Amino acid sequence: MPSISRRGETMPESPIRKLVPFAEAAIKRGIKIIHLNIGQPDIKTPKVALDAVKNNTLEVLAYSRTEGSESYREKIAGYYAKNDIHVGADNIIVTTGGSEALSFALGSIADNDDEIIIPEPFYANYNGFANASGIKVVPVVSNIENNFALPPIDEFEKLITPKTKAILICNPGNPTGYLYTREEIKKLASIVKKHNLFLVADEVYREFIYDGREHYSILQEIGLEDHAIIIDSVSKRYSMCGARIGYLVSKNKEVIRTALKFAQARLSPPTYAQIASEAALETPQSYFDDVKKEYEERRNILITELNKLEGVVVAQPQGAFYCIAQLPIDNADTFAQWLLEDFNLNGETVMVAPAAGFYATEGLGTNQIRIAYVLEKEDLKRAVHILKEALKVYAH
């Protein structure tokens, strides 16, 4: 039988989706599952976006421009201007989800065996995209004990080699919910300029910032224009995960020119999804105010309830809608599968994402889980209660 590629063999499984077969089996047994494992918002998509598709009169669903329609990119630039990020339509490439934007960025700045430094834990698919591009992920460890703050700059310095091409961050972070401060962004800006590297920031959760804090984008940092690349998406901002629309944003003309060649190879982003996403930019600020208030309340309930559990350590999210919880267990993969196969409380169980898949360093995160608080508040309370009872049983 012909063999598959070594790259395919080493492609990591999703820690979020690999437990799906066990969840499906549990559902067939009549078990109700409370999903804490996936960041699919339950917030309604803005009506203006859905209506733009429903009421559209297109007669030919044609290709759009490779970089996305000009009217959409102009409006995206307007959105950024409201957030004190000043770019033009020619600094933006519309992509099929933030995932494709990241893939284009990596393909544009790094070759086989080049290195990207990423603070861990990080969004698990960074590993997958790097693997697919033949790039080596070099992790720098952040710790739950200090809420996953930026590791000291000298820890980054130790890891920089002639093969290092970029530092990649998620701000605010998935899976930690950590929000980088202005001072931390300035420290990263200093190191990438010193070593002539790129700074790639996944900023898809920009709208979800709590406790009166503010988001500071890498493209707000003066002097970083040639180094900064933003990855962005409509998925979480407008609860439009199924639209699969994102964007790559940079003032570095060579990056945009190169990424455009990757974009040309896939022809164009989806037309209807762009129509919906362009309309979504008309969403009133009140929508975001209400959504942020709802997520902040959910976070407060989740963290309060988790802190009541004996032996559980939880980081305090400052943005996004995830947290990392450290449990009094040896192996979260085994525990997560056990929750689906062998445990229920009055016919209910919970599905979590084992956190080891969000680390690149072998052995880290094995007793941690990621929780997405994209559920109603009462569901979150019930989920933590089920988790509490499960830990009692599992410990024995």
pLDDT tens, position by position, 291-320: 999 999 999 999 999 999 999 999 999 999
Average pLDDT over residues 142-146: 93
Q: What is the pLDDT of residues 322-350, one digit of tens each?
A: 999 999 999 999 999 999 999 999 999 99
pLDDT at 4: 81
If you average pLDDT over every residue of the chain, what do you get?
A: 94
Cα 373 to the center of its chain, rounded Å: 14
Please, what are the domains in the chain?
6-44+286-394 (3.90.1150.10), 47-280 (3.40.640.10)
Confidence check: pLDDT of 372 > 60: yes
Task: With residue 307 as reference, give the H or E element that holds it.
Answer: helix 285-307
8-state DSSP, 375:
S
Dump strand ranges (E) for 86-227: 92-95, 115-120, 136-141, 164-170, 198-202
pTM for this predicted structure: 0.94
Q: Dihedral through CA 327, CA 178, CA 116, CA 79, nearest 10? A: 140
pLDDT bin (cut points 50, 70, 90) of residue 16 is low
What is the rounded CA–CA span in Å between residue 169 and residue 188?
Answer: 10
Please say whether the beta carbons of 141 and 364 come within 8 A: yes
pLDDT bin (cut points 50, 70, 90) of residue 396 is low
Please say whether the beta carbons of 202 and 122 come within 8 A: no
